[in-house]
Amino acid sequence: MSAARLAEEALRGPFRETLLAPFHRALADYGLIEPGDRIAVCVSGGKDSMLLAKLMQLEQRTSQIPFEQTALIMDPGYSPANRAKVEANARLLEIPYTLFESDIFAVSSRQEKNPCFLCARMRRGWLYAKARELGCNKIALGHHLNDVIETTVMAALYGAQLQAMPPILSSTNFEGMSLIRPLYCVREEDIEAWRDACGLTFIQCACRLTENQPGGERTSSKRREVKELLRRMRETDPGIEERVFEALHHVRWETFPREK
């Protein structure tokens, strides 16, 4: 059985409840796909975006909502090995893709303060621009449930603000375009389990600033702290993350202070 077939059978079989079902729940609950959509699925080469590309491919085949989707790979300055790995995995999983290049890593690496923030903003802009060039009205990113929870906790603890990561967001710079996050309800550990069960290996982080660090980890120190905090809390309270996520859907606005 080919790797692509194995990955698809796993999604329909043992990972149906942990990956396919929450994927469909996010699409339905937040109205992420509408008739006539043309969606650029942004593939960075990591486990999350590769799974997203496969799920969106399957969804297009079976959905009653007519839409088009295409995998979009941006090379922001990958090392030759990382670029080869990303393209090889796309071919392995039988995901047709469009690839284009940018100089994001070169530009952001010259930024002494917050290079990761600059990189993320530039990536988003380049992806929107290329997606629009391809006739798309939406881009899909691979952020998952853990990203949503960690971002919320980080914003409160370190950013002094109550801020979430929305499942759908209209672009302020590209009129008529939106960003969607179809993995919004999917847990990272389940993505890892699918990857390992299928014998797949993906790049962890292709950033040229951190590729020599152990595991290629680019996660900020604050995000690592929040990951560790939540891990410790789960040991005594397994439902802590679910409640943080649910809290995003049950905001009591009347309890918040108002400035005069």
Per residue in 32-73, pLDDT (tens digit) is 999 999 999 999 999 999 999 999 999 999 999 999 999 999
**HSE on the CB side for 135, CA within 13 Å?**
6
Strand ordering across the sheet containing 178-180 = 97-101, 68-75, 38-43, 138-140, 178-180, 168-170
Q: Where are the beta strands (DSSP E) in 76-155?
A: 97-101, 138-140
Which residue did the predictor score with more confidence, 148 or 114? 148
pLDDT: which is higher, 213 or 200: 200
**What per-residue confidence (pLDDT) applies to 14?**
97
Range scoring the smallest mean pLDDT among 38-52, 71-85, 130-144, 199-213: 199-213
Domains of the chain plus CATH, in order, are 3-145+164-213 (3.40.50.620)
Q: Which of 81, 90, 113 is nearest to 211 (CA)?
A: 81
Sign of CA dihedral 155, 124, 193, 21: positive
- pLDDT at residue number 212: 45
* pLDDT range class, residue 210, cuts 50, 70, 90: low
One-letter amino acid identity for 147? Answer: D
Rounded to an integer, the average pLDDT of 28-34 is 98
Give the pLDDT confidence score for residue 251 in this predicted structure.
Answer: 93
Model confidence at 169: pLDDT above 50: yes
Buried b (16+ CB within 10 A) or exposed e, 36-51: ebebbbbbbbbbbbbb
**pLDDT for the residue numbered 113:** 65
Q: What is the mean pLDDT of residues 214-235?
A: 78
SS3 35: coil
Q: Is residue 209 predicted with pLDDT exceeding 90?
A: no
The region of weakest confidence among 23-32, 104-113, 114-123, 192-201 is 104-113
Q: Which residue has the higher pLDDT, 212 or 39?
A: 39
What pLDDT does residue 91 have?
Answer: 97
Among candidate residues 216, 198, 199, the one with its CA nearest the CA of residue 207 = 216
- Is residue 239 helix, strand or coil? coil
Look at residue 124 in the predicted model and tell me its pLDDT. 85
E strands, 33-141, are 38-43, 68-75, 97-101, 138-140
Q: Which one, of 125, 143, 135, lies nearest residue 180 by Cα?
A: 143
Kindly report the pTM of this predicted structure. Answer: 0.90
Question: Looking at the predicted structure, is the pLDDT value of residue 213 above 50?
Answer: no
Q: Would you tell me how many other CB atoms lie within 10 Å of the CB of residue 246?
A: 10
Highest-pLDDT range among 150-159, 181-190, 198-207: 181-190
